[in-house]
Each structure stands twice: as structure tokens, then as C-alpha cells.
Structure 1
Amino acid sequence: MDPQLEEISKKCITIADYKLLTNNDVTWFIATMIGSQLVRESVSTIGLTELRGALHFGPMTPWTKVNYTEPSEQELAAATLEQYYDLKEPKSILRSLDSLFIMEKDIPRGVAFLDGRFPGIRKIFKGKFEKMMRKRGKMVMDRKMVDRMIEEYQVMDKKIREAIEKTSGNRHCWDRRNSLL
């Protein structure tokens, strides 16, 4: 396992953390349900933010309703490189106006929590994207490069989410959680 991922997986996210992430507005049980979704989607948001930064694209677009249709070949062909990326950017129902757990306004709180507790998450994404860009030297950015970077984002996002899952699943964390009930 990557040392940074191992370091992430050995830390804890407690019930008190989840309650804090939900502004202490709900019971511990509901806070855990909402907080865990917020943490997962905040990981993805950090990754997508770093990906957009590496590509020198603007910030993430505001949330919309989920659109399950794939962009047409004509839409993809006519798009600028940034528009192409926007059409291909990984989406999530939990990062949309259709989310049942979190709202767009919650994401900055989740991102701030992760940046404070797990600064390695941003470093992993940023480092990988910078490395990919350096490998290409002064290469012209094209759609294939965008596609490769999106694929790499998805691989890293999955690994980091798996490491984050361990933060509330290991025995040490459960001992800490139970003492907070």
C-alpha cells in the first residue's frame, strides 16, 4: 500500500467528527450517515479540483440535476478542450441537486475537514497530476490526455475512498467512537 494511503487509513473519523460535519444538528446516527457521504464526496471534490487545476481549467461548475445521457459525438467534437472536459468530468448523484444526503453548501465544510485532518489527500491528487503533466513535457494538451487524467483521477479516487473507509472501520476508531456515545 502507498505510504500516504496507509497513513490516511490509520487515522480515525469519529462520531464527534461526523456530528461536527453536520453542525451538530442531528443525532449521532444520522450524523454518521450524512457525514460519511459528505467525506466521500469531499474526497472526490478535492480530486476534481486538483485535476481541473492541473489542466488549467476554471473551478468546478455548480451542481445540477443528474443527467444520465452520455454526450453525443457531435457535442464532444464541437467542444473546446475545457468544454470537452466538462462533458466528461466524473459525476455523482451525491454531488448533484438530486442528492438525498448532502447539499452543495456542505462540500466546503467537508473539504476543509479533510484538508485539516488528511492533508495527504490533496497532496496525492496534486502530485500525481503534476507528475503526469511533467512526463509529457511541453506536450500539447489534447482530448486523449484529458481522458488519461480522468482515468487516473478515478483510480486514485477509489484508492483514497477505500483508505478513508478504514478510518471508521478499524477497532481503534470504534473504541474511540463508543466512548463518545
Structure 2
Amino acid sequence: MAARLPSWAWVSGLTAGATAAVVALAVQADHGPHPTAAVAKPGASASAGAHASTAPKPSAAPAVPAASGEGRRIVYSLGAKRLWLVDATGKASRTFAVWPGTVGPRPGRYSVIKRIQSLKGSDGVEIEHVMYFTVASGVNIAFSNALDGSSPPPADGKKLGGIRMHKEDGAALWSFGDQGIRVTVVS
């Protein structure tokens, strides 16, 4: 008869295997694409004689587009590739850049019709904080962010309606907008 291994040996082996799998996945994730941010360059008005203690003033966030409605809403500018989360008083609580897919919505007023915590996007990327608000050219249009925080360029030749954003912006949008919240799309 074959000798049985004690239970501590099984547990130790399983723990070592699980640890190795987690380390392998962490290394693989570290080698994946990472989002990058643009670095602000000093303006032409900076003088050579400026004092070292004078820090450049941060640029003001772009204003909520005019004629985008009133009250609590999400505003998406096609031209600026930007979203605003607008509170009930009409002030933007947050604004950020987005990366549109290959198919976009027409300017107009919509509502979030469905929310899904996470799924695989039509481009094969694992996404989360998915908020659908319309259909254009037979393609579902939704806000989302990639689970790994990246925003790869849309695949050539594919009709993709995902409007992607950084992971922290996706989490903020998810917290801000429930099903039914208004979405205004402007040029």
C-alpha cells in the first residue's frame, strides 16, 4: 500500500502553489500597459527672474459646457473627450478626460439604462463600472474603465462603443450615477 501524506504536507504544498500563482500574476500585471498622464510644461509667460518660491498656478478645470442642462447629471463632450459629474446645484464635482471608442453617441439627452459591475468588453479587455446609456449604429454606448487601469487604442475595424476612463475616474462615476441618471452629450 502507498503511504499517506500527513495533512500538514498537503496544506503546505497548496499554500506554496497558491503563493507562486499570485506572484506570477503580480509579475505579469506589472509588465502590462500602465496609464500615463501628460506632464504640464511651463508657459511662455514664465520669466527667467522668477523667485524659486513661486510655484506655477494649477490650471483651472474646464467649465461645464453651456446648454448642457440643469441639475444633477453626467455631461460628455465629444470634442473635448471629457466628462463632468455635475451636482444638483449645477457645479462640477469632478471632470476628467476619456477615451472614446470607434462609435459615438449623437449630441442629445439620455439616461443611464443599465449598470454592470464588471465584464469582458467587446474588445476583449476586462472592464468594470459599466454604465450603458444609448445605442448608436447598432452598438451599445457605455462608460467604463479597464480593470488594469489601461486604455488601449480601439481595435482597427471594430465597432466599439466603450468610452473608457482611468480606474479612479470610473470608480467616481460609478458612485455618482445610478441607473436613470441623466447623461447629456454635447459636441
Common fold by TM > 0.5: no
TM-score tier by shorter-chain length is: under 0.3
Point out which structure has higher relative CO (alpha carbons under 8 A, 6+ apart).
1
Structure number with bigger Rg: 2
The structure carrying a bigger helix percent of its residues is: 1
User: With structure 2 as the length reference, what TM-score do the two structures score?
Assistant: 0.25
